[in-house]
Structure 1
Amino acid sequence: MKYTELGKTGLQVSRVCLGTMTWGTQNTQADADQQIEYALARGINFMDTAEMYAVPPSPATYGKTEAIIGDWISRNPSRREEFVLATKIAGNGLHYIREGGDITGEAVIKSVDQSLERLQTDYIDLYQLHWPNRVSPHFAKHWPGRINFSDVDRDAHVAQMLEILQALDVCVKAGKIRHFGLSDDTTWGIHQYLQLAEKYDLPRVASVQNEFSLLHAKDWPYLLEHCVHEDVAYLPWSPLAAGALSGKYIDGARPEGSRWSFAQRNGLFRDTAQSNAAIKGYKEVAEKHGLSLVQMALAWVDQVDGVTSTIIGSTSMSQLEEDIDAFELALSDEVLKDIGDVFRQYPSPY
């Protein structure tokens, strides 16, 4: 397993991060225990969760994933030091979480305590804002006209950011969290947090995790350039486009028990004619070179300049083993050229 520094934190994290969002819906406690043990044995020392999980998000599943991880930690307290644990505070819009309200300083302090209780740990290594209070161009909102930046009250949002940073500082000084990161945010958001941290001597943003894959690479090159030069770790989530790059949903297939057979909060916005065609194209490339589509797609993300650690999620041990093995691959120039040919045909298929 290869390791990379997480921004400027001094923490060395594995190039693979174990995602956990299906624990509590598609996966049981026993499944999670097995995945954790296997991941640690393979050298993975980075695990990501969120208060909102399990998914699909609902009042019934809220907090379940953190509780599952906490159950494992309670039975293995001496092993807590073996991994970097990341979790996230949910943003606004979910009526059953803080009545759907914004992330505020008060919300941060309360939510950190609640996550610590569910996780049954004394500290969180990386505490992330799941999405910003302003509407960000994620979850298929990146097309022109979907959101209007000019409608945003910039000063009000910057004031909110400062309040959030001040609350995070309280948590850092109390030893409850070590570092903080962003999720589903933009270059402007990262920049504002960096400026505020420097101006007011507050915690520096360590990382950002955004959706990134062969089907959704909108952060390249501008946001990734910013991350590289500002030493902000970039953590791709959904590197298989919610399972689409496994090929199992080609031409409308819906295998029983698969993620796309569940109701999705934002619908199946990744399921488009362009995506279907792109996946078929990538599948042909993988078959031509004797690779699995899954491993080729994951290896491609891993080799993108600026990527720190890729968040994977699996519902079965066989999937987890295949995913981790992908990070031992080195894609040849010929493979990368063939991938590039498909990418140019379908640069933004959803």
Structure 2
Amino acid sequence: MKYVRLGSSSLEVSRICLGSMTWGLQNNQQDANEQLDYAQTQGINFLDTAELYAVPPSEDTYGKTETIIGNWLKANPSRRKEIVLASKIAGPGLSYIRDNSEINSKTIVEAVEASLKRLQTDYIDLYQLHWPNYTSPHFGKHWPNNVHYTSFNAEQQTEKMLDILQGLSHCMAAGKIRHCGLSNDTPWGINQYLRLSEQHNLPRMVSIQNEFSLLHTKDWPYLIENCVHEDIAYLPWSPLATGLLTGKYLNGNIPKGSRWTFMQRNGLFRDTPNTHKAVQAFVDLAKQHNLTPASLALGWVDQVNGVTSTIIGATSMKQLKENIHAFKAPLSEEIIKDIGEILQQHPSPF
């Protein structure tokens, strides 16, 4: 296993981050325990969760994933120091989470306390803002005019960002979180936080996790360039595009128990004719090179310059082992070249 520094922090994390959002809905405590135990044997020390999980989110499953992780930590107290534990505070949009409130200094303190109780730990290594208070170009909103920037009140949002940093600073001073990061944000968001941190001597964002895969490359080059030059760790989530890149949803198939059988908060916006054409091309390419489609997709994300650690997830041990195996050997230059040709033929398919 390769390890890299997490942005400007002192933390060393594995190139693979174990995601956990299915635990508490598609996976139970025993499943999670097995995944956690196996991941550690493979050298994975980076674990990502959120108060929102399990996913798809609901009031019934809110906090269940953190609770499952907390039970594992309680049963294995010596392992806490061996993992880099990341969690996230939910942004506005859900009535059952702090009455649909925005992220601010007060809600950060409340959310951190609640997460620590569920996780049964004294501190969280990386605490992230799950999505910003303002609408960002994620979850299918990345097409022109989906977000109206000219009507955006930047001064007001900057004031809110300062308040957020003050809440994070309070939690860090109390030893409850070690570092902070972003999720589903933009270059403007990154740079505003960096500027405010420097001006007011407040905690510095060390990472950002955004959706990134063969089907969704919009963060390259500008956001990733920003991350590299500002020493922000870039953490791709959904590198298999919610399972699309395994090929299991081709030809109208929706396997029983798969993620697409559950109600999606933002709908199946990735399910487009162009998406399936692209997936078929990648599946065919993988077959030509005697690779699984998942290995092709994960291997490609891993080799993108500027990627720090890729967040993977699985609902079965078979999937988890295959996903981890994808990082064992780098893709050949020939395969990378062939992938590049397909990317040019099928850019931004959803």
In the superposition, the TM-score normalised over structure 2's length comes to 0.99
> What residue number does 1:206 align with?
206
Give SS of 2:126's match: strand
2:60 matches 1:30: no
Q: Does 1:154 align with 2:161?
A: no
Q: Which amino acid aligns with 1:177?
A: I
Residue 183 of structure 1 is matched in structure 2 by: 183
Unpaired stretches in structure 1, ≥5 consecutive residues:
none
Which runs of 5 or more residues in structure 2 are unaligned?
none
Alignment partner of 1:320 is 2:320 = yes
Q: What is the distance in 1 between the residues matched to 2:263 and 2:170?
A: 38
Secondary structure of the 1:318 match is helix
Deviations 1:298-318 (A, max 9, x none): 000000000000000000000
1:66 corresponds to 2:88 = no
| Equivalent runs, 1:303-314 vs 2, <5 Å | 303-314=303-314
Deviation (angstroms), 1:132: 0.2
Give runs of aligned pairs for residues 83-102 of structure 1, distance below 5 A: 83-102=83-102
1:139 to 2:139 alignment: yes
- Counterpart CA distance in 1 for 2:283 and 2:243 is 13
**Residue type of the alignment partner of 2:28:** T
Other-structure match for 1:291:
291
Identical columns (%): 61
Query: Which amino acid in structure 2 is aligned with residue 320 of structure 1?
Result: L
Please state how far the C-alpha of 1:182 moved relative to its aligned partner: 0.2
Amino acid at match of 1:201: N
Structure 2 residue 124 is matched with structure 1 residue 124:
yes
Give the equivalent residue in structure 2 for 1:53: 53
- Structure 1 runs of 4+ aligned residues shifted over 3 Å read none
CA distance in 1, matches of 2:289, 2:75: 44
Q: Which residue of 1 aligns with 2:169?
A: 169
Query: 1:234 corresponds to which letter in structure 2?
Result: Y
Deviation at 1:14, TM superposition (A): 0.2
CA distance in 2, matches of 1:267, 1:239: 18
- Give the structure 2 partner of residue 16 of structure 1: 16
CA distance in 2, matches of 1:149, 1:81: 43
Amino acid at match of 2:222: Y
**Residue matched to 1:274:** 274
Residue in 2 that maps onto 1:248 = 248
Post-superposition offset of 1:329: 2.1
| Structure 1 counterpart SS, 2:235 | strand
Give the distance between the partners of 1:5 and 1:252, measured in 2 at CA: 41
Query: In 1, distance between residues paired with 2:304 and 2:228?
Result: 12
Distance 1:106 1:308 in 2: 31
Partner of 2:229: 229
Deviations 1:264-287 (A, max 9, x none): 111111110000000000011111
What's the TM-score once normalised by structure 1's chain length?
0.99
Per the TM alignment, residue 330 of structure 1 is displaced from its structure 2 partner at its CA by: 1.1
Partner amino acid, structure 2, of 1:293: P
Q: CA shift at 1:290, angstroms?
A: 0.8
2:254 counterpart SS class:
coil
List aligned pairs for 1:320-339, cutoff 5 A: 320-339=320-339
The alignment covers a number of residue pairs equal to: 350
- CA distance in structure 1 between the partners assigned to 2:344 and 2:69 by the alignment: 41
SS of residue in 2 equivalent to 1:62: coil
